[in-house]
Amino acid sequence: MAEYQTMRSQGMATSAAEIDAGLRAHMNKVYGTMSIGLLVTFAVAWAFGSNPALLSILNDPVTLQPTILGWVVMFAPLAMIFAFGAIITRASAAAAQVFFYVFSAVMGASIAYIFAVYTGASIVQSFLATAVAFASLSLWGYVTKKDISGWGAFLIMGLIGGIVLMVISLVMSAFFGIVIPGFDIAISLMLLLVFAGLTAYHTQTIKQDYIDHAQYGDTEWLQKSAIMGALNLYMSFINMFLIILSFLGNRE
């Protein structure tokens, strides 16, 4: 009996060790995919933003207002995010990963204007500040023993509310010439807090999803889960970066 209990204990320990090793590999896959996506985004953004001829395809050279194609490119990432769910469900993990990198490239084109509006030094400064904040928040979400799964609904509500307020502010300014001092700054700060919370929330969710499903050995599902996790963290990083850049960036 004692020998059986010892063997059972060793088996459980081995299983736990395997899950722990698999979790590390899974998180490396998530962060690696996200990092490549960010590299693609900023490479495409720099290629368009630093080349006046290419940038003029997307933005008016004088006003920097989007052209017709620029409007299409601006809203294309949103459409691709909605399509991502279907891609993850119906396509292979490899196809979903390629789609994520295509999405990253389109996102790069949509934010190319930053290289024409802000100095290179301020872009780098804002990127580094975002990287430090993101790493700290993601690490906390990974190691904390506190269950923050309940944050999800509130954060999504905050995100939707922030977007609605941004649209209202845009309509008031564009059609009625009404500008409320400090309103846009308040919205940006609120959204920055939302994306900071989402960074920690998604990190814990990615970790817990792996732990819950690793025992079933569904490799394809886990690979798709890593790509979806990379997308969620990527979106938090990009949005945090753009908000921080709006605060810290020095204009050309």
User: What's the confidence (pLDDT) of residue 16?
Assistant: 66
Q: Are 196 and 208 in contact (CB under 8 A)?
A: no
> pLDDT, tens digit, for every residue of 77-133?
889 998 998 888 888 889 999 999 999 999 999 999 999 889 999 999 999 999 999
Q: How far is CA 203 from CA 4, 207, 210, in A?
A: 38, 6, 11
Residuewise pLDDT in 10s, the chain (252 residues): 444 344 344 444 446 677 778 889 999 999 999 999 999 999 999 999 888 888 888 887 777 777 888 888 888 988 999 899 888 888 888 999 999 999 999 999 999 999 988 999 999 999 999 999 999 999 999 999 999 988 988 999 998 998 888 888 877 776 667 767 788 889 989 999 999 999 999 999 999 989 888 777 677 888 999 999 999 999 999 999 999 999 987 776
162 exposure class (CB count in 10 Å sphere: 0-12, 13-18, 19+): buried
Question: CA–CA separation, 21 vs 49, rounded Å?
Answer: 41
Integer Cα distance of 20 and 25 in angstroms: 9
Q: Helix, strand, coil shares of the chain as percentages rounded to 5?
A: 85, 0, 15
What is the domain partition of the chain in residue ranges?
2-248
Beta-carbon contacts of residue 223 (< 8 Å; ≥ 6 apart) = 29, 93
CA 68 to CA 60: how far, in whole Å?
Answer: 10
pTM: 0.87
Q: Residues near 180 by Cβ (< 8 Å), separated by ≥ 6? A: 169, 172
Reported residue count of the chain is 252
CA distance 223 to 33: 11
**In which residue are the tokens 């050279």 written?**
61
Compute CA 101 distance to the chain's CA centroid, rounded to the nearest angstrom: 13
Cα angle value 88/94/99 (rounded, 5°): 60
- Contact (Cβ atoms closer than 8 angstroms) between residue 197 and residue 155: yes
